[in-house]
Every structure is written in C-alpha cells, then in structure tokens.
Structure 1
Amino acid sequence: MQAITTYFNFMGNTEEAMNFYKSVFGGEITACTRFSDLPGNEKMPAHEQNKIMHMALTTKSGNILMATDFLESMEHQLHLGNNIHLVINADSEQEVEQLFEVLSAGGKVEAPVNKTFFGALFGMCEDRFGIKWMLNYTYPQNN
C-alpha cells in the first residue's frame, strides 16, 4: 500500500475550503478538475459545471488532502458520516481487489471496483463500522 489519504465532500464550497486548508497547512493545490472538464458535461445543469469534481492540496509536510463538491442534481446530501472518505492508493490491481473485498464485507458497496476514465482501477465502500473507503490503483502512464 502506497499511502492512505483523506478525501472530503463538500456541498459546493470545495474551492473555498481547500484554499482555507492551504492557508492553514501551507503547500500548493496540485490538482483541480471541474465538472465542466469531464466528458458529457453538457448534460449537467449550467450552475453545477464550475463545481469541483476533484481537487488536491499537497501540504508543505507532504500530506495530501483531496476533495469534491456534491451535486444537487445527483441528489447528493451532505451529512455527518459521508463528508469524508479514507483513500487507499494501492500498489496493484490485486491489492485493490483484496482490500475492497475485506473492507466491504458486512458493509456496503458504494461503487464496485472498475476501470475508470481517469486511468485507474477504483472502488468505494463503507465498512461494517461505518467508515467510508476509496480504493485506487493508478495505471502507469506510457510516455
């Protein structure tokens, strides 16, 4: 396992929150993708297209905080317990599959493990203790 990082969910104020965390912890925003950057974005409501699909802050100590905006059009609702996920960046597809199977046993699968448009094998689940997990293996890039 490479690392476990923190992934926050916000209701439309991800950019504000992440800039606040940057002012607190230092570092730099190392990734920012808006929903308008995604394939099929023309089907989204105009007022949601500028929302944040994914943002990452690498703090000056090297920790990574990531975040997204929940979308009203997808009927997302923010409440205590779904505002944070722990992300496991695995070393292999096999590790993602094994960890996902163990963590989701007795819990709930939120997104089954699948290959994604962003070049990763990815799945989301909630374990039997109510902790939410994202499991990710990023495929090597061919240069």
Structure 2
Amino acid sequence: MFKLTPYLFFAGRCEEALDFYSVCFGGVVVTKQLFKDAPQVIEGADPNWVMHAEFEAFGMKIMLSDGVVAKELKGNNVALSLVVGSIEEQARLFEKLSSGGHVMVPLADTYWGACFGKVEDKFGVRWMLTCNEVI
C-alpha cells in the first residue's frame, strides 16, 4: 500500500500559509514543529521557522514546511511524501529513485519513530520516503 501526500515549502511564510489555508478550507493544523524544537541544529534553517506542519480539511492532508532556503527555492517548492508499508519496499524505491539523481537525506531511523530519506530524482522531483518501521 502507498499513500502520497503533497508537501509544500514556503521559505519563511509557512505560518502565513497555514493561516491562509485554515481560512480557505476551514481545516485544522494537526501538528506544527519549529526548527528550534528539533533535537539537533539543522544547518541553514532559521530556528523560528516551521520545520514540519500537517494540515487537514475535507479528508485531505497537506504537509508544509519553511524548508531550508538553499534547497526549497521558489519554483522548486514541492516534494512528494510517500509512506510505504515496509523497510524493504522503501529501500528498493529509494535506490531506484536516486539512480541518476542525488540523495538529499540518506535513509535512516528518525527521532519521530520512522525510517526516512529524501532523494531528488534525475528529473528534479523530490521524494520523501517514510516507513513507520525502523531499520
């Protein structure tokens, strides 16, 4: 089973976007974490910016972040967040997607209890692969 969730980047305007989408859709912000709340310093990130947020309305889910400015520039502000069912499937997809592209974040266990990795494929599409298992 696969689940694809849009992940939008706002380079310092994520709080504004969350407010805007809340008004537009009448939804709710389910979670919001700032970069300063991470257990380690994220190089290049403003500590007061949104590291990760989830917004839900009408059965849809959107993930949002301010991102790290050097990688989340205007015109390149979307990544596809794919949740996969097994570590094996995640590793297989990660390897295939990184062929001809480049690994942005290697697959690894995270502090939020999942295995995560980020890759930009040879077409410039960014994929964030999550498995709710750990290695």
Give the TM-score normalised by structure 2.
0.86
SS of 2:100's partner is coil
1:50 positional shift: 2.4
Aligned mates of 2:131, 2:13 — CA distance in 1:
28
Partner of 2:121: 127
The alignment-based identity, stated in percent, is: 36
SS of 1:21's equivalent in the other structure is helix
Distance in 2, matches of 1:77 and 1:134, equals: 14
1:110 aligns with 2:101: no
How much does 1:76 deviate? 4.9
Distance 1:64 1:77, change over 3 A: closer
1:124 is aligned with what amino acid? K
Tell me if the contact between 1:9 and 1:84 (Cα under 8 Å) persists in the aligned partners.
yes
* Alpha-carbon distance between aligned partners in 2 of 1:30 and 1:121, rounded to the nearest angstrom: 21
List alignment gaps of at least 5 residues for structure 1: none
Runs of 4+ in 1 over 6 A off after TM superposition: none
Superposition pairs of residues 91-106 of structure 1, within 5 angstroms: 91-106=85-100
How far 1:128 moved relative to its partner?
1.6
The runs of 5 or more residues in structure 2 that have no matched partner are: none
Whether 2:78 is the aligned partner of 1:80: answer no
CA contact (8 A) 1:32 1:54 kept: yes
Q: Structure 1 10/90 Cα, relative in aligned 2: closer, same or farther at 3 Å?
A: same
Instruction: State how far apart, in whole Å, the 2-side matches of 1:110 and 1:16 are.
Output: 27
CA-based RMSD of the aligned residues comes to 2.4
Report the 3-state secondary structure (helix = DSSP H, G, I; strand = E; otherwise coil) of the residue aligned with 2:29. strand
Q: Aligned to 1:31, what secondary structure does the other structure show?
A: strand
Q: How far apart are 1:71 and its partner, in Å?
A: 4.3
Q: For residue 5 of structure 2, what is the aligned residue in structure 1?
A: 5
